[in-house]
Copies of this chain bind each other. A is one copy, B any other.
C-alpha cells in the first residue's frame, strides 16, 4: 500500500557535503520533497520552463530568491517560483534549515 502520511521533522536528514532532498511522494503530476540545508548549503539559481515550484519553510530560515527578489523565509512562509522564473535557496544562517518543496508537473516522470 502506498504511504499517505509523513512527518516532515522525522524525515529530515542532513549531509555535510551538500544539501539533501528527501522525496516523500512523486508522480507525473508533482513531486513533494523535504530539502535539508546545513549552514552554507544551497541549491543554485536555475529555472524550469514548464514547472512551478512551491517552497514552504519548515524549520530554521533560508534565503530564497525568486526572479529579482531575495527574502529570508521563516517557518510558515511560502515562496512561489512560477515556470520560467529563476529561483534558488541558500541557508545563510548558523542553524540547519528545512523546507517542504512541491514541483508540478514532475520534470522527469
Contacts and interface: CB of A to CB of B under 8 A. Distances in A.
A43 interface: no
Interface string A1-14: 01111111100000
This chain's copy number in the assembly:
2
A7 B105 contact: no
Contacts of A52: 25, 27, 29-30
Interface of A: 2-9, 24-25, 27, 29-30, 32, 50-52, 54, 56, 58, 64, 66-67, 69, 71, 73, 76-83, 85, 100, 102, 104-105
13 contacts: A3-B80, A4-B79, A5-B73, A5-B78, A6-B79, A7-B78, A8-B77, A24-B80, A25-B52, A30-B102, A100-B100, A102-B104, A105-B105
